[in-house]
């Protein structure tokens, strides 16, 4: 099982949308508490980048501090 599959299966504080070779992660809502909780998912994805995926992130611009509200992961195909 890949790191991304494991995160999706066992993780919390995010919503997932799968596409062709991509997975996007977003907070469960736009509430401050949910956005703050999502930052833990952001840290984990950053920490494990290169373990079968690369990623891009979107920082929110309407806050005084840098918070991420979207992580777009491109899954590497191994074969």
Angle between helices 32-47 and 3-10 in degrees, nearest 10: 150
Tell me which residue has tokens 């299966």.
9
**Number of domains present in the structure of the chain:** 1
Q: Residue 3 — very low, low, confident or very high, per pLDDT cuts 50/70/90?
A: confident
Question: 28, 41 in Cβ contact below 8 A?
Answer: no
Q: Is the pTM of this model over 0.85?
A: yes
**Arithmetic mean of pLDDT, 66-79:** 87
Asked if residue 78 has pLDDT above 70, the reply is no
- pLDDT at residue 51, rounded to an integer: 83
Strand, helix or coil for residue 47: helix
Q: Count of CB atoms within 10 A of residue 76's CB? A: 13
Domain of residue 11: give its range.
3-75
Q: How many Å apart are CA 31 and CA 37, to the nearest integer?
A: 10
- pLDDT at residue 12, rounded to an integer: 85
Each residue's pLDDT tens digit, 17-64: 999 999 999 999 999 999 999 999 999 999 998 888 999 999 997 776
């Amino acid at each position: 099982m890949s790191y991304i599959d494991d995160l999706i299966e066992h993780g919390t504080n995010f919503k997932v949308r799968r596409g062709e070779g991509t997975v996007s992660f977003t907070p469960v809502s736009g509430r401050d508490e949910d956005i703050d909780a999502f930052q833990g998912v952001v840290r984990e994805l950053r920490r494990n980048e290169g373990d079968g995926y690369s990623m891009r992130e979107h920082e929110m611009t309407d806050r005084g501090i840098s918070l991420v509200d979207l992580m777009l992961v491109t899954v590497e195909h191994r074969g």
